[in-house]
């Protein structure tokens, strides 16, 4: 029925625990003519069936669709999508009507979340009567049309269009030439309802599938605390947090983003729910420049950054008293990564992280700010309350230690 992939001896252990991925290092051999995106049967070293899934070139060689020897046909996709829909209905996330007491109407939700719904490599978000489908594997891309047909059958009259948005999520090396676009129906109505609030969803040009659905509960939490408060929404994107804060009774809401398109979308979403409400103002500006300039409070961003740095240093100091320090934890993690035959990352990067973990707390902090963040010594001095000279010396010593550590493995 399908071409087969054969595992090395003992590499079926993770599959017996229902792990949904098979890494390339676990594979002994594959049938001739196998192409990327094909459905394959996975066999143990002694020729026993163990899984069926999508084959792909890369570190994750097979994404498991089923641990039963089944045919991946229309019935399979309908069954998986139907199960996902039943879960969303069971937990009450889909609500066509309601109120504050029973739960506001909600037609914005994630229907399929990859491995969580036994469909690795596939994301489907629902916005009203439009589904936005996103493939993260070649196999799901190859199956997009049959998945779309199954989705239409399962959703019935709840769905009138499917937008396929996988141009930036598919492996670049696969060279699939994919373009975004509707693969079922078409619509100009991009308004969806989340907890009774309306939002314009930019599935054409927006990030992810057009809206950060995973922040729904956090937006609701902000609404709960917003009564009578001034709310600053930094990096606001669609303005979701701003809209929730306004319904929560905030006395003033400012939305800030460096993207003019994001600010335009934020203003549209606010107007959609609270037309001509003077409590809201949006600013197309760099976030930290806005903080520094706002209300004449110079270096407010530095003050906020200092709080974060001090919290991090306090955390490191607290961990000193524990039997296992953060450095030891990081060392253990690096050792595990380097020892894992499936680890597909850059060995040099792993060694760098291991070397950094051996540094004392302050040297580690200075090295991180200088090496990764490229922070100026003058800015670092203000943040940490340490002289520029001392910081330069600390960084120089840290660099020597890191270099010496990594040279051991050349």
CATH 3.40.50.150-classified regions of the chain: 214-287
- CA angle at 37 for the pair 121 and 140, rounded to the nearest 5°: 30
Q: What share of the chain is helix, strand, coil (3-state, %, to 5)?
A: 45, 20, 35
Least reliable range by pLDDT among 265-279, 338-352, 371-385 = 338-352
CATH 3.30.750.80-classified regions of the chain: 74-200
Q: Is 162 in contact with 144 (CB distance < 8 Å)?
A: no
**pLDDT per position as a tens digit, 30-74:** 999 999 999 999 999 999 999 999 999 989 999 999 999 999 999
Whole-model pTM: value is: 0.71
Superfamily of domain 3-66: PUA domain (2.30.130.10)
More confident residue, 80 or 291: 80
How many of the other CB atoms lie within 10 Å of CB of 264? 16
Class of domain 300-407: mainly alpha
255 bridge partner residues: 233, 282
Q: Which CATH number describes the domain made up of 74-200?
A: 3.30.750.80
Superfamily of domain 214-287: Vaccinia Virus protein VP39 (3.40.50.150)
Q: What one-character DSSP code corresponds to residue 19? A: -
404 CB-near residues (< 8 Å, 6+ apart): none
The predicted pLDDT at position 102 comes to 76
**pLDDT per position as a tens digit, 190-211:** 999 999 999 999 999 888 899 9
């Amino acid at each position: 029925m399908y071409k087969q992939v054969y595992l090395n001896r003992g590499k079926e252990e993770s599959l017996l625990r229902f792990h949904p991925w098979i890494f390339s290092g676990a594979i002994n051999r594959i049938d001739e003519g196998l192409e990327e995106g094909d459905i394959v049967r996975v066999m143990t070293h002694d020729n026993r069936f163990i899984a069926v899934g999508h084959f792909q070139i890369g570190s994750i060689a097979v994404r498991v669709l089923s641990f039963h020897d089944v045919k991946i046909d229309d019935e399979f996709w309908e069954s998986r999508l139907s199960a996902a829909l039943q879960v969303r209905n069971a937990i009450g996330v889909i609500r066509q009507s309601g109120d504050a007491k029973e739960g506001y109407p909600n037609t914005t939700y994630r229907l399929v979340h990859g491995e969580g719904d036994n469909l690795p490599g596939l994301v489907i978000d629902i916005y009203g009567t439009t589904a936005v489908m996103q493939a993260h594997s070649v196999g799901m891309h190859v199956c997009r049309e049959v998945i779309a047909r199954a989705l239409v059958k399962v959703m019935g009259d709840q769905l009138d269009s499917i937008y396929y948005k996988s141009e930036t999520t598919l492996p670049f090396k696969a060279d699939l030439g994919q373009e975004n676009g509707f693969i079922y129906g078409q619509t100009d109505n991009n308004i969806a309802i989340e907890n009774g609030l309306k939002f314009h969803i930019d599935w054409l040009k927006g990030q992810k599938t057009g809206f950060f659905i995973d922040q729904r509960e956090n937006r609701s939490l902000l609404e709960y605390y917003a009564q009578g408060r001034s709310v600053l929404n930094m990096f606001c994107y669609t303005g979701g947090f701003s809209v929730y804060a306004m319904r929560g009774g905030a006395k003033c809401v400012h939305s800030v983003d460096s993207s003019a398109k994001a600010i335009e979308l934020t203003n549209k979403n606010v107007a959609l729910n609270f037309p001509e409400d003077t409590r809201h103002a949006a600013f197309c500006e760099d976030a930290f420049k806005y903080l520094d300039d706002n209300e004449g409070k110079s270096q407010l961003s530095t003050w906020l950054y200092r709080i974060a740095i001090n919290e991090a240093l306090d955390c490191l100091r607290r961990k000193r008293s524990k039997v296992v320090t953060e450095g030891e934890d990081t060392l253990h993690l690096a050792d595990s990564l380097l020892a894992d035959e499936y680890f597909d990352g850059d060995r040099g990067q792993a060694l760098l992280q291991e070397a950094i973990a051996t540094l004392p707390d302050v040297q580690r902090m200075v090295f991180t700010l200088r090496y990764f963040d490229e922070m100026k010594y003058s800015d670092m001095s203000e943040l940490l309350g340490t002289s520029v000279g001392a910081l330069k010396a600390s960084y120089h010593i840290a660099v020597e230690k890191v270099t010496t550590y990594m040279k051991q493995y050349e």
